[in-house]
Amino acid sequence: MRQIKVLVVEDSLVFRELLVTNLNKDPAIQVVATATDPYEARDKIIEYKPDVMTLDIELPRMSGLEFLRKLMPQYPMPVIVLSALSEKVFDAMQAGAVDFVAKPPAANKKDLENLLENELPVKIKVASTAKISRIKHSVDTIDFRNNRRDDKKTIIAIGASTGGTEAIATVIKEFPADIPGTVIVQHMPAGFTEMYAKRLDDQCRCRVKEAENGDIVTQGLVLLAPGGDRQMSLVKVGDNYQVSLQKADKVNGHCPSVDVLFDSVARNAGCNAIGIILTGMGGDGAKGLKEMRDAGAKTIGQDESTCVVYGMPKVAYELGAVQYQEKLGDIAKKTYNLLNQR
């Protein structure tokens, strides 16, 4: 089996050696080179032609973010960003990074071991299969002013993983201020979901916030499941929908899990729902989307050509869960068309 060639760009000697030592323990991965700054990294990319690059955000001579912005238009490649808790990771994702991992404090040995031995090797393997393109997704903008509707009963549920931060943004930036209540699970570490929600709230016409237990799902509001150790589900309380956040085990290796959310939407919203599954590795959300479709919901899957990783939507499609397969730039329009058919 051909090993995945990795370039590690990290200015800290100690952390760089930890990365190299632990990544090389995985038989599927070979660290072919290291670099301490973007200028050295550029030369190593040309010389070694790595399959994947891990990139620290804070680097000498040029920031990792600036380097990424210069690199991707000329030499698109799978990049995983390593960062402390910072909104800069979302700028990096917008610049073309495939994924990111949170750098734990050095004193937190448990999280550090998990990063080095589990999380980062898995993400490198996923990134090596990612579709990287210079082309931005075109969006067919809708004039919502001509198609307004009052809808307080419908729920929109969205699930995504690898590549999902930009995919979700592409979809919900096109939502109007009065979009039906929307609930989202994006696989993401604790802490980052709050920043991501605030970032989307600044960019969107609808309101976006990190969900809290008991939040009412109302028209014009998008609720993003917080990363961490709680599963998010939809519950019906009287005439209202609410979100429930409860500590629980991982499902499909994830907490929060898309399947948990979609299952609850199928049970409680039934035919009054639209389910959307976006780019991501694995199969989380596929069974839940099938439950939604079987309960009468309309379901949409992102197509292979626009996915960073055609995993979750592929499994859902093969399971018969996807009713409409759409390019990323067409999903918001399709969603609104389905709403107007009700």
Catalytic residue among 187, 254, 257, 330: 187
Please confirm, yes or no, whether 128 is among the known catalytic residues. no
- The angle subtended at Cα 295 by Cα 291 and Cα 299, nearest 5°, is 70
Residue appearing with tokens 């990424």: 68
Least confident of 204-208, 218-222, 332-336, 338-342: 338-342
Please confirm, yes or no, whether 150 is among the known catalytic residues. no
Catalytic residue among 26, 51, 263, 284: 284
Q: Would you give the DSSP letter of residue 146?
A: G
Q: Would you give the DSSP letter of residue 216?
A: B
141/180 Cα distance (integer angstroms): 18
Asked if the domains 4-127 and 144-340 are classified in one and the same CATH topology, the answer is yes
Residues 42-57, mean pLDDT to the nearest whole number = 96
For the chain, the structural domain boundaries read 4-127, 144-340
In this predicted structure, the answer to whether residue 175 has a pLDDT above a threshold of 90 is: yes
CA 309 to chain centre: 10
Q: How confident is the model at residue 141 (pLDDT cuts 50, 70, 90)?
A: low
pTM of the model: 0.89
The one-letter amino acid code at 294 reads D
Please confirm, yes or no, whether 133 is among the known catalytic residues. no
Q: How confident is the model at residue 253 (pLDDT cuts 50, 70, 90)?
A: very high
- The angle subtended at Cα 40 by Cα 38 and Cα 41, nearest 5°, is 60
CATH architecture of 4-127: 3-Layer(aba) Sandwich (3.40)
The CATH classification of domain 144-340, taken from the options 3.40.50.620, 3.40.50.180, 3.40.50.2000, 3.40.50.10490: 3.40.50.180
Beta-carbon contacts of 105 under 8 Å, excluding residues fewer than 6 positions away, are 111
In this predicted structure, the answer to whether residue 9 has a pLDDT above a threshold of 80 is: yes
Catalytic residue among 63, 161, 257, 264: 161
Least confident of 107-116, 177-186, 231-240, 263-272: 107-116
Residues 213-232, mean pLDDT to the nearest whole number = 97
Task: List C-alpha distances in Å: 318 to 266, 308, 312, 342.
Answer: 19, 18, 10, 27
239/278 Cα distance (integer angstroms): 29
Question: Mind spelling out the 3-state secondary structure of 287-329?
Answer: HHHHHHHHCCCEEEEECHHHCCCECHHHHHHHCCCCCEEECHH
pLDDT of residue 314: 98
At what angle are helices 64-74 and 88-95 packed, to 10 degrees? Answer: 10
pLDDT of residue 97: 94
Residues 274-300, mean pLDDT to the nearest whole number = 97
